[in-house]
């Protein structure tokens, strides 16, 4: 079952969330959107929990706490997506590229173990990144893989020295946040402005959502000159952050 939080997943006959135009399901276990490692190619995926943990460790990622299988699999897909993106810049395998960037490794902890610090100390739901090497999850959104990539974006932000790019980015210019069919906005924006009080963007959250766009190369598709220029500048800026 892909995720207990979505009632549609409880009905095994509710094929790909009743949205076969957007999704398919070649493995019979998880919806696929045709993009990156959350796409339709299910070849070579870990067949057992032990294999999954082994693959993650080869990237320097450790799971700690009581992870459910579907959440652990989302971590695998997210780490693989980021690794593949880094490998296109650095060369080598996805695992080696991920480990080269996140040199100290990353502990992904289910619950509040290992004393999450800073603002994460008071968090009790969703995910929160304390540092380049620690991410805690208490729950995951329906789009679990992008949820993982978003938090890896925070870890990347810490890894490359807390860049100020987020202060100059424009969410409306870069992120696929228009009213696309099937609520696509909810996929690409893991922390939209509507989640904040007051209703103002947070540069670090914009950076983490921009990291999703960069990882999957799914920027705002508006072809206008200003948007295209902003996307190109952001793409170049993110590329240049890779050590």
For residue range 194-206, list pLDDT tens digits in order. Answer: 889 898 889 999 9
Structure-model confidence comparison of residues 45 and 73, the more confident one: 73
Contact between 38 and 106 under an 8 Å Cβ cutoff? The reply is: no
Specify the pLDDT at position 164.
74
Specify the pLDDT at position 42.
54
φ/ψ (deg, to 5) at 139: -160, 165
- pLDDT > 90: what percent of the chain? 56
Whether pLDDT at 96 is above 90: yes
Structure tokens given for 125: 């739901």
pTM: 0.81
Neighbours of 103 (CB within 10 A): 11
In the numeric block, the tokens 């995910």 are attached to 127
Specify the pLDDT at position 30.
63
Q: What is the mean pLDDT of residues 12-19?
A: 64
Whether pLDDT at 21 is above 90: no
Structure tokens given for 13: 């006959």
Specify the pLDDT at position 228.
92
Name the pLDDT band for 49 (thresholds 50, 70, 90). Answer: confident
Contact between 154 and 208 under an 8 Å Cβ cutoff? The reply is: yes
Name the pLDDT band for 177 (thresholds 50, 70, 90). Answer: confident
Specify the pLDDT at position 185.
74
Burial 62-89 (b: 16+ CB within 10 A, else e): ebeeebeebbbbbbbbbbbbbbbbbbee
Whether pLDDT at 53 is above 50: yes
Structure-model confidence comparison of residues 162 and 7, the more confident one: 162
**How far, in Å, CA of 191 to CA of 111, rounded?**
20
Whether pLDDT at 128 is above 70: yes
φ/ψ (deg, to 5) at 224: -60, 155
Whether pLDDT at 224 is above 80: yes
**How far, in Å, CA of 210 to CA of 218, rounded?**
10
In this structure, are strands 127-131 and 134-137 parallel, antiparallel, or unpaired? antiparallel
Contacts of 224 (CB under 8 A, 6+ apart): none
Specify the pLDDT at position 137.
97
Whether pLDDT at 40 is above 70: no
In this structure, are strands 134-137 and 61-64 parallel, antiparallel, or unpaired? unpaired
Q: What is the mean pLDDT of residues 185-192?
A: 84
User: Degrees (nearest 5) of the Cα angle 39, 45, 46?
Assistant: 145
Count of CA atoms in the C-beta half-sphere (13 A) of 30: 21
Q: Which helix (H) or strand (E) holds 147?
A: helix 144-159
Specify the pLDDT at position 199.
87
Angle of helix 94-101 versus helix 49-58 axis, rounded to 10: 50
Task: Give which of 172, 179, 177 is closest to 188, Cα–Cα.
Answer: 177
Whether pLDDT at 146 is above 90: yes
Whether pLDDT at 170 is above 90: no
Specify the pLDDT at position 134.
98
Instruction: Please state, rounded to an integer, the average pLDDT across all residues of the chain.
Output: 85
Q: What is the mean pLDDT of residues 101-109?
A: 97
């Amino acid at each position: 079952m892909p995720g207990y939080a979505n009632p549609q997943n409880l009905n095994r006959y509710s094929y790909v969330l009743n949205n076969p135009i957007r999704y398919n399901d070649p493995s019979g276990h998880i919806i696929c959107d045709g993009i990156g490692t959350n796409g339709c190619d299910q070849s070579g995926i870990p067949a057992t929990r032990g294999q999954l943990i082994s693959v993650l460790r080869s990237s320097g990622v450790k799971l700690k706490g009581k992870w459910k299988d579907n959440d652990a699999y989302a971590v695998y897909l997210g780490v693989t997506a980021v690794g593949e993106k880094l490998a296109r810049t650095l060369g080598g395998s996805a695992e080696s590229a991920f480990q080269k960037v996140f040199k100290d490794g990353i502990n992904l902890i289910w619950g509040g173990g290992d004393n999450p610090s800073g603002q994460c100390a008071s968090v009790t739901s969703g995910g929160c990144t304390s540092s380049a090497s620690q991410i805690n999850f208490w729950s995951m959104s329906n789009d679990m893989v992008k949820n993982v990539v978003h938090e890896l974006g925070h870890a990347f932000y810490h890894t490359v020295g807390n860049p100020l790019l987020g202060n100059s980015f424009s969410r409306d210019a870069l992120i696929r946040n228009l009213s696309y069919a099937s609520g696509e906005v909810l996929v690409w924006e893991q922390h939209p402005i509507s989640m904040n009080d007051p209703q103002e963007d947070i540069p670090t959250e914009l950076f983490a959502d921009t990291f999703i766009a960069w990882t999957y190369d799914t920027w705002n598709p508006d072809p206008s000159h200003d948007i295209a220029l902003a996307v190109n500048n952001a793409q170049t800026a993110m590329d240049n952050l890779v050590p």
